[in-house]
Amino acid sequence: MLVTQALEPSTTLPHILGAAIGFLAIVAIRKAYWMLRGREGIGLGDAKLMAAAGAWVSWEGLPSVLLIATMGGLTSALLRHYRTAAIRATDRVAFGAFLCVGIWLVWLYGPLV
């Protein structure tokens, strides 16, 4: 954010908002999952990574990051299903790796829409 402030001060606020929105979105999903299932569904590391994503690609890129990461995680789960023929609701997916791919792609090519 310091680089953004130094190079283009007018874009600092969207990046700060992106960090806050990214963190709060994952925390909200985490709380909703806890209320529905009564157990942890996503870690705070993912929330921190989404905050970093928002700081990096601004709030405008967050939906694209989340969409790319979700599609990657679902694809991974389906591929695991076809390899081992067993998927359970308690299986874990390393979502942070897919968030990193989403952040990288949005940073390189911009938001999807």
CA–CA dist 28, 89 (Å, integer): 20
Whether 1 has a pLDDT exceeding 80, the answer reads no
Predicted TM-score of the model (pTM): 0.85
Q: What pLDDT was estimated at residue 7?
A: 67
- Taking 3-state DSSP, the helix, strand and coil percentages for the chain, each rounded to the nearest 5, stand at 80, 0, 20
CA–CA dist 33, 36 (Å, integer): 5
Exposed e or buried b for every residue in 18-27, given b needs 16+ CB within 10 A? bbebbbebbb
Average pLDDT over residues 83-94: 80
CA–CA dist 26, 105 (Å, integer): 20
Residue 38 DSSP code: S
Q: Which of 39-43, 53-57, 80-84 has the highest mean pLDDT?
A: 53-57
